[in-house]
A and B are shown apart, each in its own frame.
Chain A
Amino acid sequence: MTDLALPQDGWIGRRMPREDTRRLVMGAGRYVDDLACRGELHAAFLRSPYPHAGFRLDLSQAKALDGVAAVFVAEDLARVCGGLICPDLAFPGMVSPQQLPLVAERAVYQGEPIALVLADSRAVAEDAVELIAVDWQELPAITRLDQSLTQDAPPVHLGLASNLGWSTQIGTDLRDAFAGAALVVETTLDFARNTGVTLEPRGLIAQWDAGALELRISHQMPHQLQLHIAELFGVAMSRVRVICGDVGGGFGLKMHIYQDELATIAAARLIGRPVRFIADRMESLMADIHAREHRIHGRMAVDAQGRIIGFDIDDLHGMGAYSVFPRSSTREAMSALAVIGAPYLHQVFHARLRCALQNKVPTGQLRAVGNPIGCAITERLVDLAASARGEDRLVFRARNLLPEAMQPWTSPSGFRLFGLSHHRCLERLQKLMDLPKLRAEISDACASGRWLGLGFASLVEFTAPNSRSYGPTGAPVAAVDAVVATLEMTGDISVRASVSEIGQGIRQSLAQVMADAMGVPAENVAVLTGDTATVPHGGGAWASRGAAIGGEAAWQAGVALRAQILEIAAALLQAQAADLDIRFGQVVDQHGSARMGLDELSRIVTLQSYLLPDGMQGQLSVSRTYRREADSALPNNGIQAVLVEIDPDTGHISALRHWVVFDCGRVLNPLLVEEQIRGGVVMGLGQALLEACSYDSGGQFISATLADYKVPMADDAPDIEVALVETPYAGSAVGAKGAGEAGACAAPAALLNAVNDALAGQGAQISALPITPLDVLRALGRVPQA
């Protein structure tokens, strides 16, 4: 840790817009599909239209079409690219067969790529796909979660004895603890499959040149991808350059390794020309990772004083046909279990988890991984307990939230909780909402026949994990991040950072950190990310790590560079380094008088180095890699509330107002943190009210357009009031914790509770997400159950 305190009136904490967005508002972004390569070919895929089917292909007509350069199948690509097997060191016994870039002989999910056409245009490539003659042998498929583990369920992969992909138990026997409880509440919640819908679909342009690859791709973690490609194609990492320009949304979706992306890279190698593949929306909805899909049963025991004793959980999770490479589909459920009960003091915990294989695209990590499930089951049980006790939901929460005086506290499920400001957040929320007044308004409205409901949800989310999270699993996921800071001859600072910019604004935030560390204005700092040839190795964008890990690396690099520059300045000015400082880009003396500009210093070092004293090299660059040794993850916390109205005739649910109080430690830039929260809340709202990857009874995917997979539009979302509470992480200089996913963690829970509050007077209950108007009418008994 460093001895330099954060400056009082510094750049950290300032509400600054992002420099990057000046380009974007002009339409001058550079997303992958905006870049054309001379001589490029376009790729289109034949994908399985069935959830499970054998096939035989006749490619002759497709190959004969004008403008088609090649049609490749599995065995062609196998000559240059290996297959994927999800590492399972942390999940012993997990079943997940090898995945090839193109599947051979038998497809195991709808949308799985089978053949790839290269042609002069995407249109011609699609024409050729239609000309591939296929002899399909449909096989029995399992897509429904509740049927995937039954005795007579057909195997997802031929020869499997069971579709159980993985299972585990956590915690201890609860019988005694639950037997002595004054109250046990229980519920079962169903969560549909969701998907990410980054507005920019996945896409890449691959170009091999004398055995070296240049890959432009819309992706979240260029270095990890570089390593995978090097290994799968058997080339040195130094021969693989991955460049991520502007990325049109990530949300976790763009950190996995996709079959079609590997196939494109392999095809480019075989054909010796650049190849562009941009997923269209239908293939995105069908074949991007999905997420969620849980049936979770929870029981919570409470003592006579209204204190939570513990939780008993049984979670069934749909993995899809493979465990997603390389992080594993089991992560989603493990993250859900990790946060169950986490905001509340409790004594005992037990969970059983079963992950089921299905003939569906794999589920992977999507913003807030598993957290919405863990949060919703917890918060639903809390509401049920409060109502069973006949007390106010916030009174019950206040009694049970983990007090600051008891932290750090290790939960019965083994997670260390510290630095959490639950009661301060709760208090702040009630003020933000003007709760007494709001409650009076709600009861007036209800008295006049309107159906209003208020829902609350507290949250804890484990962010910015260190290497104990993935290190032992065998997945090559870096938990370190690095920064190279360089003083340029124009007096500005270049920051080359391994964290990735995907719209969250991390470049702006690092610029502000560097500005404080170096003593220069933030506008004199340029942060470069996303190119393995220019930025150092590190994690990229995952698990809300940019500020906490990347920010700390930037701080350390800046502090070290500042010290190095002051040494040089001292030599040039014949002063003591300790008497000098850098302020606003100038070397100043003890009186604050400017002695030398950083531009001048840098020019002397680079262009007139004879002026340096003997023995001084004058280094203008510093590289720092930061790994956090203590605390395997940084928990953040907060509370959300939402007011909904239900139309009694149509069952339509409107979210009228939403409030968030959130503590992510030191806030680097409140403007950007607030917008991360708002964006996450609306993504959570989509999962609560609109979004479902749907399959018909024959296992056909029936939500392959944005008209069928409905995401929130401007008129679906309410205004969202956000207040920030700051409890800096004490183990780092900057003190930041993760902020990017928390909005999405708790919004579904708050909405579920709000809808149930609105329906309480009607004796109806909802226990499945998304909650459609039809679900409301069914719960009310106005429409028969499905």
Chain B
Amino acid sequence: MDNQTLSIACTINDRAIRATIPVRQSLVDFLREGVGLTGSHVGCAHGVCGACHVVVDGVVVRGCLILAVQADGAEISTIEHAATTSIGAALQAAFFERAALQCGFCTSGMILQAAELLAQNPEPSRDEIRAALSGNLCRCTGYHAIVDAVQMASARLSDIAP
């Protein structure tokens, strides 16, 4: 039981944020409850499902496994910001068109994880996509359409890339 608080300053989706938060609050809870960014979800709160994925200093992390106080000074971006990047926007369009989501609860985490993959490996194989997304649980789709959507986004991005 610890009701201690600490002040942090960070950048969230290009906005400077200062907040005083409970030291035991997870980053995803802070983003959802404190900042009102509800696009990141909590599917397990114990690091298995990936629904809570957010990007911290350029790396996709599980927002339920790090404390908000650890994000002091960090640059954070969430699904709400994904459309500002060409990869994020391409994935969002492809997930929509390919019906790569049903309930949509996993989708934010999936798209952020897939965006990281495409940034590192612009033309991944189906197996590489499956491996990269293997920490993101989707209970609805069976994954096939998600793999298709990532490939679809990858093909479109390489068409527009020089």
A-side residues, CB < 8 A to B, are: 17-18, 21-22, 24-31, 33-34, 36, 66-67, 123-124, 127, 130, 197-201, 246-251, 280-282, 502-505, 671-672, 675, 678-683, 705-707, 711-715, 717, 719-720, 743
Contacts and interface: CB of A to CB of B under 8 A. Distances in A.
B102 interface: yes
Interface in B78-110: 78-80, 82-83, 92, 95-99, 101-108
Contacts of A505: 99, 102
A199 B78 contact: no
A682 B139 CA distance: 8
Contacts of B25: 123
Interface of B: 1, 3, 22, 24-25, 32-33, 37-46, 48-49, 51, 78-80, 82-83, 92, 95-99, 101-108, 111, 126, 129-131, 133-147
A621 B126 CA distance: 49
21 contacts: A18-B99, A25-B107, A26-B39, A26-B79, A29-B39, A29-B105, A34-B32, A197-B139, A200-B41, A200-B43, A200-B103, A675-B102, A675-B141, A678-B143, A678-B144, A679-B102, A707-B46, A713-B135, A714-B133, A717-B144, A720-B142
B96 A25 contact: yes
B140 A25 contact: no
Nearest to B141: A679
A28 B80 CA distance: 8
A25 B137 contact: no
Contacts of A17: 96-99
B24 A123 contact: yes
A18 B147 CA distance: 18
Contacts of B32: 33-34
A505 B42 CA distance: 23
A678 B142 contact: yes
List the 9 closest pairs (A to B, CB-CB), nearest first.
A27-B39, A24-B104, A503-B103, A27-B79, A248-B105, A682-B142, A503-B102, A678-B142, A34-B38
B1 A683 contact: no
Given A678-B142, A711-B137, A33 B42 contact: yes
A704 B23 CA distance: 26
Contacts of B136: 713-714
A729 to B, nearest CB: 24
A183 B42 CA distance: 54
A281 B92 CA distance: 27
Nearest to B94: A25
B96 A29 contact: no
Contacts of B129: 714
Contacts of A246: 103-104
Contact of B96 (A21, A33, A717, A719): A21
Contact of B78 (A27, A247, A705): A27
A248 B144 contact: no
Contacts of B142: 675, 678-683, 717, 720, 743
Nearest to A281: B44
Nearest to B146: A714
A719 B126 contact: yes
A640 to B, nearest CB: 13
Nearest to A708: B48
B64 to A, nearest CB: 10
